[in-house]
Amino acid sequence: MTVPRIRSGIWVKALIRRCEINSVPAMVVRKGDATAGGVFVKVNRLDGTVDVYSQARRGDGEAIWICSTGPDPVAEEKADDYLARQFKFDPDIWVVEIEDREGRHFLDVAVDSGDEGFIA
């Protein structure tokens, strides 16, 4: 059984709205395919470091988010290089940047840090 998926453009708008409700700036820095483009969330800690989250699916179809850049924040340049490589692989991706000194990502579902490198 497949799990229904929300259109990427609608999901991105909802994430930005969630950030706005919490008084956290968020913006689309790369607009992808409105229907099915993959989404990356770049959390800028405003100190030169960032985290980049990408969506994955478990075997049962449940969406989870992983920190693609590892468990610790990385230099913004390193994250931007990673996103540029992803764009070369798939030009339909979205990139949403959240600016939050606390590193909050506002993502619904994430896996605990002990699970094979996935983060909470």
Residue 13, token pair as written in the block: 């708008």
Question: Which residue do the tokens 């409105």 mark?
Answer: 34
Q: What is the third-level CATH fold of 8-99?
A: hypothetical protein tt1805 (3.40.1530)
Half-sphere exposure in the Cβ direction for 114 (13 Å, CA): 0
pLDDT at 109: 58
Task: Report CA 7 to chain centroid distance, whole Å.
Answer: 15
pLDDT at 26: 98
pLDDT at 61: 78
Identify the weakest region by mean pLDDT among 58-62, 80-84, 111-115. 111-115
pLDDT in tens, 70-107: 999 999 999 999 999 999 999 999 999 999 999 999 99
Instruction: Looking at 5-75, list the stretches that DSSP marks H as alpha helix, in order from N- to C-terminal side.
Output: 8-21
Question: Is residue 33 over pLDDT 50?
Answer: yes
Residues 6+ apart with CB under 8 A from 113: 71, 119, 120
Percent helix, strand and coil across the chain, each to the nearest 5: 25, 30, 50
Which residue would you say has higher pLDDT here, 75 or 57? 75
